[in-house]
A = this chain, B = another copy of it.
């Protein structure tokens, strides 16, 4: 008989790993059922609290969602970049990443991303891009509206990311936009006289649309590169250091889902 069970690895962690193995072994897809609380309790002969911790971990990792009621339980969540994005912000909270750092990456990523979606823009996305440009072209009446336009300008790049067939490249692009968005939102020392920044951005966006219509990937890449250099210049003139509170959720962040 085993006098000491001697588990050095916590049981809940084992359950987490086993469920992950189950997911890949059974080729489960989003929406499929994974073992529920009672099932896991029976399978591992442990208490409710233990399996709840395991399910909580899977939940935080964005792999499952829990539903109450009959037919409820744990279900495989559909792929969501949010958990990865959140963890990456957690990580960066303890490092210092400034606007310069964001643009160092943006200058190489955005041109590649933009060029790669040439000829892949659906009419819907084209319309969304044109709507975005139109919305950003209006002269802002209030300072708040100007603020909103800045965020909308970033949405232009998110639409391009949505069209990008490379999921990792799209993720990186969206994440960079998110970083810049937080910076804009946080920026109290917002300088109104710099609305020429917005004009400059919209100008580049218009050039990009023209290049997309002609399907000229090389020109798209060149325009986007120039756009990034220009934006970096405006940005570095504006801000000192990027605010380091990536741990927090800001109002309106969840609004950037989809489109």
Contact = CB atoms under 8 A, between A and B. Distances in A.
Interface string A84-111: 1011101111111100011011011101
B63 A61 contact: no
A30 interface: yes
Interface stretch (A19-27, A121-129, A202-210): A19-27
Interface in A22-74: 23-24, 29-30, 49, 52-53, 56-57, 60-63
Contact of A24 (B78, B83, B104, B247): B247
A140 interface: no
Interface stretch (A154-162, A163-171, A212-220): A163-171
A153 to B, nearest CB: 21
Contact of A90 (B21, B62, B112): B62
Interface residues on A, range: 35 or more
A259 interface: no
A3 B113 CA distance: 53
A95 B79 contact: yes
A81 interface: yes
A145 to B, nearest CB: 29
A116 interface: yes
A193 interface: no
B20 A248 contact: yes
Q: From A53, A60, A63, A96, name the one whose CB has the most chain B CB atoms within 10 angstroms.
A: A60
**5 A-B pairs with the lowest CB-CB distances in the bound complex, closest first:** A95-B167, A79-B94, A84-B87, A108-B108, A84-B88
6 contacts: A23-B247, A24-B248, A101-B167, A102-B168, A108-B112, A172-B172
